[in-house]
Amino acid sequence: MDANELLIWARGPGFDIALTIFVVGMLLRLLEVLALGKKPDLSAPRGSGPEGAVRTLIARTLPRKTVFDKEPLRIINGYVLHIGFFIVLFLYGPHIAFFESFLGFGWPALPSGIVDAISAITILSLIAALVFRMNNNVMRFLSTPGDYIAWAVTLLPVLTGYLAYNHLLLPYTLMLALHLLSVELLLVVAPFTKLTHMFSFAMARWYQGYQAGRRGVES
């Protein structure tokens, strides 16, 4: 199998398989959560649960001062990493074209040069995240192999994309094929690692916010 054939496989059947595993796996993980259900709260409410849930869903995106003051770099890096990743994923022209082929509609792209710079920043931010994880005693203590696997499968698509765009290290076709394969690896691995947080964070915030809203407490 040469680079062209690899690319064709990665674009076609490879991607379909990976996407299927991602969708089915994620649905399974989320249904596993929801299936457990929740007993109704019989205490007299002081406020609205749904209002609290929506508030927490949005508000928790920002850090509280008390923790931000202690760990500003880790928290800022978290934003850079997430925002960078989303810009590269959703605002790069060829990615939008790819989504358009599925969805039937597209959206405006950022100039490639800017996305290129942002992907470089995202790579640096991911490396910083690893350095934090290995050097902070709490993070090191909490870390499991799953954390490092999740880190690696997140880095690879950004890194291979950057290398492919800049024609570095390997011939373009091969690097592009590796880029797609790394995306597929991410899709396959995501449902079975902490990367489930891409969806479950909303449930977690909802549940905590709902209870807080009912009780009329901050969340």
- The answer to whether 77 and 125 are in contact (CB under 8 A) is yes
Per CB under 8 A, contacts with other proteins among 70-129 are 70-71, 74-75, 78
- Residue found by looking up tokens 């809203």 in the block: 213
Binding mask 124-163 for other proteins (x = CB under 8 A): ------------xxxxxxxxx--x----------------
Amino acid identity at 157: P
Sign of the four-CA dihedral 9, 15, 16, 18: positive
Nearer to other proteins, 172 or 206 (CB): 206
Our finding on whether 209 is near other proteins (CB under 8 A) is: yes
> Which residue, 67 or 103, is less far from other proteins as judged by CB?
67
Eight-state DSSP code of residue 63: P
Measured CA distances, 49 to 45, 46, 63, 170 (Å): 8, 9, 22, 54
Q: Which stretch binds other proteins (CB under 8 A): 42-50, 89-97, 117-125, 162-170?
A: 42-50
Asked if 64 is part of the footprint of other proteins (rule: CB under 8 A), the reply reads yes
Residue from 46, 50, 112, 131 that binds other proteins (CB under 8 A)?
46
Q: Does 51 bind other proteins (CB under 8 A)?
A: no
Q: Residue 92 in 3-state DSSP?
A: strand
Q: Which stretch binds other proteins (CB under 8 A): 3-11, 28-36, 105-113, 182-190?
A: 28-36
Convert 127-153 to b/e letters by CB count within 10 Å (16 or more is b): ebbeebbeeeeeeeeeeeeebebbbbb
- What residue spans of 10-144 are helical by DSSP H? 15-34, 49-59, 65-68, 72-91, 93-103, 112-135, 137-142
173 binds other proteins (CB under 8 A): no
Residue placing its CB nearer to other proteins in the complex, 1 or 44: 44
Q: Which residues bind other proteins (CB under 8 A)?
A: 28-29, 32-39, 41-44, 46, 56-57, 60, 63-64, 66-67, 70-71, 74-75, 78, 136-144, 147, 192, 194, 196-197, 200-201, 203-209, 211, 215-219
